[in-house]
Homo-oligomer: A and B are copies of this chain.
Amino acid sequence: MKIRFYNAKIMTAENDCSISTGELCTCDDIISYVGNERNTDEKYDREIDCQGNLLIPGFKNAHTHSGMTFLRSYADDLPLREWLFDCVFPREDKLTPDDIYSLTKLAILEYLTSGITSCFDMYFYADSIASAAVDMGFRMVLCGSVSGASSNVKRLQDEYDKFNNYNKLISYQLGFHAEYTAELELMKEISLLSQSLKAPVYTHNSETENEVKECIERYGKTPTALFEELGMLEYGGGGFHCVYFDDNDMEIFRRRNLWAVTNPGSNTKLASGIAPICIMQKKGINLAIGTDGPASNNCLDMFREMFLVTGLQKLLTKDASACTADSVLKMAVSGGAQAMRLNDCDCLKIGKKADIVMINLNRPNMQPINNISKNLVYSGSKENIKLTMINGKILYENGDFHIGESVENIYMKANKIAERLR
């Protein structure tokens, strides 16, 4: 399948957020050309007149729990502990693999509407998540989610082997839920596994003040310092949330080239706090953005997240110049790709994967065109996603989904599950 996008503005995001005009062509799952418009006799299966609209690499959602869609708007406006222990955990216990398959599909639909072309998904039933992604054509990086006893490391290794040899849309990274849900022996085993595989490790890290406080009570050090001491960080990886970081945590992240994945929508809605993104930027720490799950956010929308990343920094630092639009775009696009080890999905360049989004600039919120990066970060919304292509296939275009199944069917199944678990 060969597709040509012509009459386009293009933000390759290879080095910066600069924009050129021209055309982009794909051949199967790969970008075969990016550059000036050409006169060519080459035949394409489809030629798309972009009408001056903008092509960008897809957004990367570097932390989420897709299957939590069933809890959207079920348990909001509640204190955090009540939300988690009275509403979330008891219902999660009743989830089946089939549920996760259907609920993940609903999340993927929403990712497509927001120009998100890949996710770093941490949830139960990896088989179900992988099947949902493959069946819809979505690129998914599974993140290990083990917790509890050291024996669970076996599952981590099995899943790592299985899902890194599963399908070209699927990959897997070592991960565990969090320090506060893992026994010390499990974390030691994960460190050994990481070293034997030379593989990075990811986990929730310092999301709340209490989490850090309790870790210090248990181990005399912060989660990050504990992971470092256990030898878990030698091959990279990252932390989700990273709200309560001290200087030493940041120094470890910088030295180990780890990724801090920020989730401002979730941290806002759950009243967790504001991550020190500006300080991390100054220290040169790698940054990416995640929506977190739909129970805590509640939407899966990279536009909202991008505005919040910079907006909350402006509030936190009392400086309207904090955290520029270009720096936020970089986190949402190439940052996320690198955090998830999707090294072929970080920019629009010949040979890279065809994970491409077309932004509709011909909408009121994108006019006038003083500065396109700033339009995207400060006034962009889902209404601007005109087309989402993943691995060379157009899965979403002009509001319609091309995912081999009716959306009504996906909605119906999600509602049935939500009703059953209510």
Chain A interface residues (CB < 8 Å from chain B): 69-74, 76-80, 83, 106-107, 109-110, 113, 265, 267-271, 273-274, 294, 297-301, 303-304, 307, 310-312, 314-315, 317-325, 362-365, 367-372, 374-375, 378-383, 399, 407-408, 411, 414-415, 417-419, 422
Contacts and interface: CB of A to CB of B under 8 A. Distances in A.
A269 B377 CA distance: 11
A73 B371 contact: yes
A364 B271 contact: no
A367 B314 contact: no
A110 B364 CA distance: 5
Contact of A106 (B71, B76, B83, B367): B367
A279 B216 CA distance: 34
13 contacts: A69-B367, A72-B379, A73-B378, A76-B371, A78-B320, A78-B321, A80-B320, A268-B315, A269-B378, A301-B381, A362-B408, A368-B418, A381-B382
Most B-side CB within 10 Å, residue of A78, A265, A367: A367
Contacts of A322: 77, 271
Contact of A69 (B74, B368, B407): B368
B381 A320 contact: no
B271 A76 contact: no
B299 A378 contact: yes
Given A73-B375, A301-B381, 7 more contacts: A73-B370, A73-B371, A77-B323, A109-B364, A265-B311, A298-B374, A365-B382
B271 A367 contact: no
Contact of A314 (B268, B299, B319, B419): B268
Given A79-B320, A314-B270, A414 B325 contact: no
A317 B270 CA distance: 11
Contact of A383 (B307, B312, B314, B381): B381
A340 B372 CA distance: 34
A119 to B, nearest CB: 14
Contacts of A298: 374-375, 378-379
Contacts of A375: 72-73, 298
A307 to B, nearest CB: 7
A303 B381 CA distance: 10
A64 to B, nearest CB: 14
A17 to B, nearest CB: 12
A99 to B, nearest CB: 12
Given A113-B383, A273-B315, A379-B73, A415 B368 contact: yes
A325 B77 contact: yes
A375 B265 CA distance: 15
B365 A301 contact: yes
B109 A314 contact: no
A299 B367 CA distance: 10
A272 to B, nearest CB: 8
Given A304-B304, A382-B382, A383-B381, A320 B368 contact: no
A298 B107 CA distance: 28
A38 B300 CA distance: 39
